[in-house]
Amino acid sequence: MSHLDKFLMAGIDAIDQGLIVIDRKGLIKVYNQKAARIFGIDPRIGPGHEEGTIQNGDIVVISDNCLGKDDGNLKPDDLRKIGVDPEGIAAGDAVVAIGVMGARAGTTCFKTAKTKNAPLSISKTMNGVFIEAFIDFNEKRLGIRANDHCFDFFYSIAAGHAVILSGKSLKIKFYQTRGYTARKEDIKSILNGKRYTRKGPDAEIPKMYDRHISIFHPDSDIIDRLTQVAAGRAPKVILKESIINGIPVRCSILPIEDSGSVTGALLKVEDIRELKILMLERDKAIESIQHLERQLERTRVQREAFKHIIGVSQKLQDAVNLACRASESDSTVLLLGESGTGKNLFAKAIHQSSSRRDGPFVYINCTSIPENLFESELFGYERGAFTGALSSGKPGLLERAHGGTVFLDEIAELPLTMQAKVLHFLQTRSFTRVGGLNPFTIDVRIICATNKNLEELVAQNIFREDLYYRINVFPITIPPLRERPEDISHLVRFLVPKLCEKLKRGPKHVNEDVMRLLKLYSWKGNVRELENVLERAINICEGNTITVNDLPEGFKKMAGVDQLVSVIRIGPLKKAVEQTERQLISKILDYTGGCRKEAIKTLGIGKTSFYQKVKKYRIK
């Protein structure tokens, strides 16, 4: 090579882009060092190894993310050569294996995966050498470790990575690098005894001048396009993304002309692996931010929807948490709880925090519709269906709920004659109007509620068993107020201002004695009863403070019981406690009219403990 040629080649090698030039016949005229590094043609990579072939007894480590792709069309049966039993392994599976060339099938340590979400890894110590093979599908990284040596291989779509250790010296005999397909050093070729080339700092770049481009880049669309442009059979290409030898690149192909005739073509190549990784990280960051935004929005919507459900007790919070989870799906919800616990509030909150919140919320109280009108009210009717029917017909309540939520309150009161038709609707989301022939199909979410024990009603043949199982998909039990006395003060602080505004009365608050009595009361009517008691007290109260005198008579008796318990004489603590217990139980029984069940609830003790104390103190 002349001094001028060497000078020109040095300049071409200094270019920060891969540069390949071919003539009309496809023969390489220029192939700079950057292109050789991008495509792995340059073997001066890694710690180095001599040329050679695999031998029986050599340790073979494989990390292959897609069996049969970019690994020389490796078949499951080919893995027998390193002791892998191929039973259950299929093309396209991810495989990590640590085996021995020539070992009997079934003696090798390996793992496979068909779904490629979680990382796949395997490790083993062989003759004192720690070996590991893993696949990180998220980072698109194939990794192999052998003691202090680390061999990582990043892929775009698929790749087969392999490392071979000498069975005698345990030294590295071979490792996979970029450009292995061009060198015919894929896993299958190596296992079949293909001679591999030398690598490392002292290795030499193969002679490429005047050799055909397809020798180094087989099966590449962009290289095929390069040869077509060089032959004058295709137009130029500008900044096209492609994959060559498994490497993501951005390419431009320009024809080379002499006196108006195409004499060859130039390929400019930019390695965009780092750009792809940055783009992948950016996309992940954007996805993470969007996921966080969705979570924050869902939390905001749920907080707004459930803001009228007041309380801090664990039982109530558990019910609210379940309701929030229910709002994230379209499953049928069954709200269970005593009258006045707030089932209606829960149903509305579930609807308002769901994806159907912009659709209608249709409330249907199964006790308020006469049995003979239930079908026409629920499903609607066609014109002329019965005497007095509107000439235009009438859509039913279900039809009006299309795209939203239907709340069937007091479902236990549903007439037995209607239960089969409601069951059919729940199963198919379709119905036929009274007097009609054509079925209507609607998109609704169903929420049911009851204060009855449906299992007992099923046992009594009052409620259909199949309907019960159809609505009992996502049951939520709302605790009664007496089981969450810690919520009383929060409810009072919420309800009193609201009621004062409704009644057009000035601001009021309750004193400590009233709050204590409210917490002691059993609240058979739950929150609804509490609201009624407070409304009455606000109407009666003359000042700004609600006192015991503003409460119903039952509360005044409770206050009297509370005041009548006192220590009569000073003495030992045990005697004083027994004396106080005797007084308290007697007064509570007087207050409840001898009702032991109510006394037990008021005292907050167990049934056995109550009767033991009654017997001990000889209380009648």
If we measure between CA atoms, which residue out of 437, 407, 431, 405 comes closest to residue 418? 431
Whether the per-residue pLDDT at 572 is higher than 80: the answer is no
Block residue for tokens 């204060």: 451
Q: Which CATH number fits domain 3-37+219-271: 3.30.450.20, 1.20.210.10, 1.10.287.130, 2.40.50.140?
A: 3.30.450.20
Q: What is the pLDDT of residues 285-298, one digit of tens each?
A: 888 888 888 888 88
Q: Which CATH number fits domain 565-616: 1.10.10, 1.10.3470, 1.10.1740, 1.10.15?
A: 1.10.10
Task: Give the start-to-end residue ranges of the domains of the chain.
Answer: 3-37+219-271, 45-191, 306-476, 481-553, 565-616
Structure tokens belonging to residue 545? 């403070």
414, 420, 424, 430: CA torsion to nearest 10:
-60
Whether the per-residue pLDDT at 233 is higher than 60: the answer is yes
**pLDDT (0 to 100) of residue 558:** 65
Q: What is the mean pLDDT of residues 368-395?
A: 81
**pLDDT (0 to 100) of residue 493:** 93
**Could you tell me which residues come within 8 angstroms of residue 532 by beta carbon, excluding any fewer than 6 positions away?**
525
Q: CA 384, CA 436: separation in Å to the nearest integer? A: 10
Q: CA 204, CA 218: separation in Å to the nearest integer? A: 21
In percent, the amount of the chain with pLDDT more than 70 equals 94
Please give the C-alpha separations between residue 309 and each of 253, 341, 485, in angstroms, as whole numbers: 68, 10, 15
Q: 298-305 contacts: CB < 8 A, separation 24 or more?
A: 298/328, 298/353, 301/352, 301/353, 301/357, 302/327, 302/353, 304/352, 304/353, 305/348, 305/349, 305/350, 305/351, 305/352, 305/353, 305/357
**Residue ranges in 477-525 assigned as alpha helix (H):** 488-503, 512-520
Q: What is the mean pLDDT of residues 100-107?
A: 89
Give just the sign of the alpha carbon dihedral 573, 579, 582, 585.
Answer: negative
In percent, the amount of the chain with pLDDT more than 90 equals 48
Residue 542 carries which DSSP code?
-
If we measure between CA atoms, which residue out of 102, 60, 62 comes closest to residue 81? 102
More confident residue, 596 or 564: 596
Q: Are 475 and 343 in contact (CB under 8 A)?
A: no
Ordered DSSP codes for 448-459 = EEESS-HHHHHH
Residue 122's pLDDT band (cuts 50, 70, 90): very high
Q: How far is CA 28 from the centre of its chain?
A: 53
**pLDDT (0 to 100) of residue 147:** 76
Whether the per-residue pLDDT at 184 is higher than 90: the answer is no
**pLDDT (0 to 100) of residue 569:** 53
Residue 77's pLDDT band (cuts 50, 70, 90): very high
Whether the per-residue pLDDT at 420 is higher than 70: the answer is yes
Mean pLDDT value across the chain: 87
Q: CA 37, CA 18: separation in Å to the nearest integer? A: 8
More confident residue, 277 or 480: 480
**pLDDT (0 to 100) of residue 259:** 86
**pLDDT (0 to 100) of residue 564:** 45
- Which amino acid belongs to residue 85? D
Whether the per-residue pLDDT at 325 is higher than 80: the answer is yes
Structure tokens belonging to residue 298? 């869902």
**pLDDT (0 to 100) of residue 42:** 79
CATH number of this structure's domain 306-476: 3.40.50.300
Q: What is the pLDDT of residues 489-544, one digit of tens each?
A: 999 999 999 999 999 988 998 988 888 888 888 888 999 999 999 999 999 998 89
Structure tokens belonging to residue 620? 């009648």
Ordered DSSP codes for 207-222 = P-TTSBGGGTS-S-HH
Q: CA 543, CA 540: separation in Å to the nearest integer? A: 9
Please give the C-alpha separations between residue 79 and each of 69, 83, 85, 103, in angstroms, as whole numbers: 15, 7, 7, 10
CATH number of this structure's domain 481-553: 1.10.8.60
Q: What is the pLDDT of residues 130-151, one digit of tens each?
A: 999 999 998 889 999 997 889 9
Domains 306-476 and 565-616 share a fold: no
CA atoms within 13 A on the CB side of 36: 19
Whether the per-residue pLDDT at 545 is higher than 60: the answer is yes
More confident residue, 45 or 273: 45
Q: CA 587, CA 597: separation in Å to the nearest integer? A: 14
Structure tokens belonging to residue 270? 């930019």
Q: Are 153 and 141 in contact (CB under 8 A)?
A: yes
pTM over 0.95: no
Whether the per-residue pLDDT at 66 is higher than 90: the answer is yes
- Which amino acid belongs to residue 527? V
Q: What is the pLDDT of residues 197-220, one digit of tens each?
A: 898 888 887 888 889 998 888 767
Whether the per-residue pLDDT at 570 is higher than 70: the answer is no
**pLDDT (0 to 100) of residue 108:** 85
* Cβ-count burial 184-213 (b if 16+ within 10 Å, e if not): bbbbbbbbeeeebbebeeebeebebeeeeb
Whether the per-residue pLDDT at 391 is higher than 90: the answer is no
**pLDDT (0 to 100) of residue 82:** 94
Q: Which of 13-22, 162-171, 500-509 has the lowest mean pLDDT?
A: 13-22
Q: What is the mean pLDDT of residues 436-442?
A: 86
**Could you tell me which residues come within 8 angstroms of residue 339 by beta carbon, excluding any fewer than 6 positions away?**
451, 525, 526, 528
Q: CA 239, CA 252: separation in Å to the nearest integer? A: 5
- The residues facing 27 across adjacent strands are 212
Q: CA 113, CA 137: separation in Å to the nearest integer? A: 11
Q: Are 182 and 61 in contact (CB under 8 A)?
A: no
H and E: helices and strands count for the chain: 19, 25
Q: Which of 40-49, 264-273, 473-482 has the lowest mean pLDDT?
A: 40-49
